[in-house]
Amino acid sequence: MASLQTLLSGLDIKSESSVILGRLHESFVQVITETSADLLVIGYKAHLLRPSSSERLIKSLAIPMLVVRGKYSDHTSPGTVNIRRILCPVDFSMNSGKALSMAKGYAELFSADLHLMHVIPSHMIQERWKQGMKPQTADRKRFEEELYAEATTKLSQLRKQFDITAEEGIVHGTPGEMICSAADTGTYDMIVMGARGISYLQGILIGSTTESVLKASPCPVLVVH
């Protein structure tokens, strides 16, 4: 800890350190509460039989959490981090609105390009299609076009609400996979997304998109609660 503080001091960064004995997750929550921290920065390590600390913190943390992971962060060092491109996936939930507001702030701070993305989940398309009971292929095409038009309208409303000028994209598939693929293809420096836009029960049944992104993202992920 002393060597880390020396490194930070050489960069004109004031720091304090503490060592705590106990369970990692509970210790993080304790220090965050005691210091009134505004942001938690944590690395990522996958575990075979249990969730990682960052995945567990998603469910209980009340502040944004920056999870540093992925191949695009492997060779970074103090003073070399450069945020040029930010990807912000939105599902039109309250949490994704908070994430968008923060993504805008970071884009302005770093003069970075901001890209909005919405994924229409494949399972949702299938469920809504069955509910409509439309057997014809032509009807299916029109049905999907309607979903895209609906998402386009909502994205436009978000951009107007937050006064954002940004690129945007709409795709369909498994949200976590599509977000990570887009981040890799676009060589993004950071993903900013809401902690959990779906209900707790849906999270149990189909898995949290945020947790899926944390497991496979090629770049750091800022999780906003």
Q: Please, what is the angle between helix 137-161 and helix 122-132, to 10°?
A: 120
pLDDT digits (tens, 9 = 90+) for 65-92: 999 999 988 888 877 888 999 999 999 9
What was the pLDDT predicted at 77?
Answer: 80
Based on the fold, state whether residues 54 and 11 are members of the same structural domain: no
Based on the fold, state whether residues 140 and 195 are members of the same structural domain: yes
CATH number at residue 86: 3.40.50.620
Based on the fold, state whether residues 31 and 95 are members of the same structural domain: no
Number of domains in the chain: 2
What was the pLDDT predicted at 137?
Answer: 60
Based on the fold, state whether residues 46 and 93 are members of the same structural domain: yes
Based on the fold, state whether residues 17 and 82 are members of the same structural domain: no
What was the pLDDT predicted at 133?
Answer: 56
Based on the fold, state whether residues 156 and 125 are members of the same structural domain: yes
Based on the fold, state whether residues 51 and 115 are members of the same structural domain: yes
Based on the fold, state whether residues 53 and 18 are members of the same structural domain: no
Based on the fold, state whether residues 29 and 73 are members of the same structural domain: no
What was the pLDDT predicted at 134?
Answer: 56
| Residue 12, CA distances (Å) to 42, 83, 106, 151, 214 in order | 21, 20, 22, 46, 31
Based on the fold, state whether residues 6 and 110 are members of the same structural domain: no
Contact (CB, 8 A) for 41 and 66: yes
pLDDT digits (tens, 9 = 90+) for 195-209: 864 444 444 443 578
What was the pLDDT predicted at 128?
Answer: 67
Of residues 27 and 181, more confidently modeled: 181
User: What's the length of the chain?
Assistant: 225
Provide mean pLDDT across the span 135-162.
Answer: 84
Instruction: Please state, in angstroms and rounded to a whole number, the distance separating the CA atoms of residues 114 and 84.
Output: 9
pLDDT digits (tens, 9 = 90+) for 150-192: 999 999 999 999 999 888 999 989 999 999 999 999 999 999 9
Based on the fold, state whether residues 26 and 85 are members of the same structural domain: no
Based on the fold, state whether residues 163 and 94 are members of the same structural domain: yes
Contact (CB, 8 A) for 196 and 49: no
Structural domain harbouring 159: 41-224
